[in-house]
Structure 1
Amino acid sequence: MKRIISLLAVLAVAAAAVGGAGTASAETRASNVDIVQTAVAAGQFTTLASLLQKAGLVDTLATGGPFTVFAPTDAAFAKVPKATLDALAADPAKLKAVLLYHVVPGRVTAADVVKLTSAKTAEGRSLAIKVVNGSVFVDAAQVTTPDVGATNGVIHVIDSVLIPQEATATASKTIVQTAVAAGSFKTLASLLKKAGLVGTLQGKGPFTVFAPTDAAFAKVPKATLASLAKNKAKLRSVLLYHVVKGNVPAAKVVMLRSAKTLNGKAVSIRVNGGNVLVGGARVTTADVKASNGVIHVVNKVLIP
């Protein structure tokens, strides 16, 4: 890390380049500094720089290449559960795999990216790429600043961390246990119990659950909740409308227009302004892993 910090004094030009990355060509910006120097000078990639150091990838990205890096900001890393980051930081091999999942060999500018549907990463797996309403998504992350040039490649800034499911430790808790442990799904847990669905969602699965928080349930009129609580069949129907069979990570969700739920009806899916909307509810946290599936947190209750 001393090497990274020592670069800050001479990299004002790189910081300016990132700040004005909206229009200039990747070949004309930050042409005198490498990828790591450019990221450090920008001031919004301190977590990424620290993790690159822990994984032993600083020299690789500073001297090798050319590379294309989809770089998550500090704000993007702040969305990742602390337990997940701590687990990765404690396992250099898995941390390295996750970081290399953000790196594509070669210089792939935005003009090239928009022509692709996928790109093979230095980690070995491929990223899904999609353009929606003029916005570029890499897996579930949106590119917020493209074509930040460096001497040995190009950086595309993204708003979420890309974590391939296979690269992280297998979750030990089921979907229900994970929701209960989070502490923000008390209403959902209570209603699952009333509907007799706890056993189902603790089963083998896998399941994908769009889980409304307690704040989401607080938006539902009390009379509606009371009515559902008294009618087990309707309650089950509503809750199962939040569940999709199979493990559907965010990278696949953004590729869909709808998904059939265990309720029997299909829920609509669309991407709007960088937000993923499921049946009108916004996904606020994606890819919360469980031993029998995945949870995507939503800000509204889905009522067919």
Structure 2
Amino acid sequence: MMLRFVSIGLWLVALGWTCSGQPDPCDVPLVTDSGHKDNFTVVDLARELYACTMIKMIERAGLGPMFREKGPFTLFAPYDLAFGFLPDDIWNKLMSNNTYLRELLLFHTVPRLIGSIDNVYNDELIETMLPGKNIRLNVYQIGKMMVGGRGAADQAMGVTGRITACGGPVIDGGNATNGEVRIISNVMHPVPPGDIMDVIDNDKQFTELKKLVYLAKLQDYLKAGGPFTFFPPNNNGVDKLSRDELKKLEHNTTLLREVLLYHLLDWTLYASGSYDGEVLVTVQGESINLTVWYDSLWVNGHTNARVVYQDYNIYNGVLHIIDKVLIPPIIWQKYN
């Protein structure tokens, strides 16, 4: 990841060179003349907004002609630094698998004009050029940004907006002759693979959680309901339960159900809409709180459950994967 940040950093340093007549930092052949506004495409606009990595990926995937010759489009283009936060395995897959890259780019593209981003409503779903996959727009009316991690990068870029696209704050944008470009501070990844149960059923990091969900008979609720924010513990998190704790949960499905619902919110909260010290009421009824500690997001204090992967997009909400099962003492005591 360090080499990727260095590469992206060089592009960002190069931004000042364009103004002094030096080579274009995006280093992509310009087909249309940005000086002629009657043929100023979304590719040209993305170039002006310095979405250099996005442009390079569009060309790499062979989608340049489509974005120049067709439309209208609304292109959600992550700023360069956002790509540096992708896990190394995802970045490598994008660079080696052109089909995977095209799918991600089409997921960032809406085949129509959205218009003013200020007119969207919370949890609005917008159909993309990837069939069956929608971008979720959220409006967060809070005055604080999450500090650390991507939050620090957002602050450095002057992000103050509360409108997000799959968790990425919309920070800039403009209009072209064949569409619109909206600059976002996150790469919208992963492309939603399905609903909560699709992920739990098929992702191997949730095999232990899957057993508990079916034992509690919550599978239909998690599949059909929403939108949700779910904090699912991975296998390592479930393995941290003591033998006695696991036995009690497996033999008392009422307790198990309450514990699992304690991991669930009945609305969509992305990391960019959260803040340090935020208190959230769960579907179970008790509250959890969020803590930012050394650039990591934690649930119920920095010695409890750490969010190991945030903003996992799904059809009916978002997942924040944690490394520990949350057991509220008041519930545990009620069944002892």
TM surpasses 0.5: yes
C-alpha contact (below 8 Å) 1:17/1:30 kept by paired residues: no
For residues 112-135 of structure 1, the C-alpha deviation after alignment (integer angstroms, 9 at most, x for no partner) is: xxxxxxxxxxxxx899895556x4
For residues 15-51 of structure 1, the C-alpha deviation after alignment (integer angstroms, 9 at most, x for no partner) is: 79947x9xx9x969997454425xxxxxxx9975741
1:216 match: secondary structure: helix
For residues 137-184 of structure 1, the C-alpha deviation after alignment (integer angstroms, 9 at most, x for no partner) is: 4xxx5429958xxxxxxxxxxxx843299xx6xx46321121121111
Q: Offset of 1:257 from its aligned partner?
A: 0.5
For residues 283-304 of structure 1, the C-alpha deviation after alignment (integer angstroms, 9 at most, x for no partner) is: 1222223322222111111111
Question: 1:283-298 maps to which residues of 2 (within 5 A)?
Answer: 283-298=307-322
State the one-letter code of the partner of 2:314. Answer: A
Say yes or no: does 1:76 pair with 2:86. yes
Looking at secondary structure, tell me which structure has more strand per residue.
1
1:238 match: secondary structure: helix
List alignment gaps of at least 5 residues for structure 2: 1-5, 28-50, 69-76, 111-136, 158-184, 329-336
The 1-side partners of 2:146 and 2:272 are apart by: 13
For residues 207-231 of structure 1, the C-alpha deviation after alignment (integer angstroms, 9 at most, x for no partner) is: 2110101111111211111111111
Larger deviation: 210-219 or 268-277? 268-277
C-alpha contact (below 8 Å) 1:254/1:276 kept by paired residues: no
TM-score by length of 1: 0.58
State the one-letter code of the partner of 1:143. Answer: A
The 2-side partners of 1:142 and 1:96 are apart by: 27
State the one-letter code of the partner of 1:51. Answer: M
| Counterpart residue number, 1:143 | 153
| Counterpart residue number, 2:103 | 90
1:199 match: secondary structure: helix
2:86 match: secondary structure: helix
For residues 75-108 of structure 1, the C-alpha deviation after alignment (integer angstroms, 9 at most, x for no partner) is: 52537596999555137544457xxxxxxxxxxx
C-alpha contact (below 8 Å) 2:189/2:312 kept by paired residues: no
Using a 3 Å threshold, how does the CA distance of structure 1 residues 29 and 230 change in structure 2: closer, same or farther? farther
Question: 1:157-176 maps to which residues of 2 (within 5 A)?
Answer: 161-163=186-188, 171=192, 173-176=194-197
TM-score by length of 2: 0.53
| Counterpart residue number, 1:56 | 64
Number of residue equivalences: 232
The 2-side partners of 1:223 and 1:94 are apart by: 45
Q: Offset of 1:241 from its aligned partner?
A: 0.8
Say yes or no: does 1:243 pair with 2:256. no
Question: 1:259-298 maps to which residues of 2 (within 5 A)?
Answer: 259-279=280-300, 280-298=304-322
For residues 54-78 of structure 1, the C-alpha deviation after alignment (integer angstroms, 9 at most, x for no partner) is: 3539x99xxxxxx994523455253
State the one-letter code of the partner of 1:233. Answer: T
State the one-letter code of the partner of 1:78. Answer: D
The 2-side partners of 1:51 and 1:143 are apart by: 22
List alignment gaps of at least 5 residues for structure 1: 1-14, 38-44, 61-66, 98-124, 148-159
The 2-side partners of 1:251 and 1:266 are apart by: 20
| Counterpart residue number, 1:202 | 223
